[in-house]
Amino acid sequence: MAAPNPLNDQQIQLACSTILQGGVIAYPTEAVWGLGCDPWNLQAVTRILQLKNRPVEKGLILVAASVEQIRFLLDPLPEPLQLAALSHWPGPVTCLLPDVNQQIPEWVRGSHSSIAVRVSEHPVVKALCEAADMPLVSTSCNPAGEEPARDAEQVGHYFKDQLDQIVPGALGGNRKPSRIIDIVSGKQLR
């Protein structure tokens, strides 16, 4: 069950402006707080990787408000793979999609030929992606080796004044981060 969206239009527009200007935000997701930015902005993605002490080779997840926001990744795939991904969305499942036409920058994809994508039901995530009119980077809000942040206080403890904005809101009802499923093999990776 998704948490109610506590954001008003002004807060949504402020967060969207921050993202579009290359900023890095923290925001609540289905189970943990996430760090997000414009996936096509190398400097913003690099900041997230540095904050987390995460190697670029590992790749990052994209989160979207709707299937239409990631349609460009689905359309090149065979219909059975499209249907496999669509069977999990919207919801707290991240699907590894082959990035057939390499439409996602390597600094998001990492050393992989696929991209991790989730179409979220969480109201804050949806509002942010809709306002930005694109999918966003979504990675757990924690330095490598630490537990993901579960509240805004923990976000502040981890990153103090290193973020451009902490977006208010509540976590969804999930206890664990999203499952990750490879739609080609059907295997659950997390």
Chain segment 106-152, per-residue pLDDT in tens: 999 999 999 999 999 999 999 999 999 999 999 999 999 999 999 99
Please give the residue range of the domain that contains residue 158: 9-182
Q: Looking up tokens 């289905």, which residue turns up?
A: 30
Provide CB contacts within 8 A for 174, sequence distance 6+: 30, 31, 92
Q: Residue 14: inside a domain, yes or no?
A: yes
pTM of the model: 0.92
Q: Residue 189: inside a domain, yes or no?
A: no
182: three-class secondary structure by DSSP? strand
- Whichever domain contains 110, its CATH number is 3.90.870.10
